[in-house]
Amino acid sequence: MSNQPVQTVSASGDKAKVALAIFAAIAGVVGFYVLSDKATAIRAAALVGGLVVAVAIAWTSTPGRDFLNFSKEAVRETKKVVWPTRREALQMTAIVFGFVVVMAIFLWGTDKLLEVVLYDLILGWKR
């Protein structure tokens, strides 16, 4: 027996809400540029207003609520991360820089060795 993937079907109302939210966000951005001759505060208000309306509309849809729940879970998981101390971060950074220097010297040496072998020994071109 095979497992068939399950697809969730959105209601047409949810699709309309998402489309309306996208339209509101675009309207806010367009308003910001159309009002280029107005004060910056008015332009910013048009942009922020369009985005706030878009978020409010999207929030009432199922995909919007799902995204909000996903965002909350992402923040919760981020709080569980054990971040390195300053000393550990500096040590890891020093190790990475040291490795980069060693690799740069190795690649430079390999390049010079191949240059000598190819041009001087094989081709006989002396510089």
Query: What are the extents of the domains in the chain?
Result: 11-81, 84-127
Give me the chain's average pLDDT, please: 88
The model's pTM is: 0.50
Enclosing H/E stretch for 62:
helix 62-79
Residue 92 has pLDDT above 90, yes or no: yes
| pLDDT > 90 fraction of the chain, expressed in percent and rounded | 60
Angle at 70 between CA 65 and CA 74, to 5 degrees: 150
For residue 85, the model assigns a pLDDT of: 96
Q: Is the dihedral of CA 86, 88, 89, 94 positive or negative?
A: positive
**Within 10 Å of residue 43's Cβ, how many Cβ atoms?**
17
Say how far apart CA 44 and CA 55 lie, in whole Å.
Answer: 16
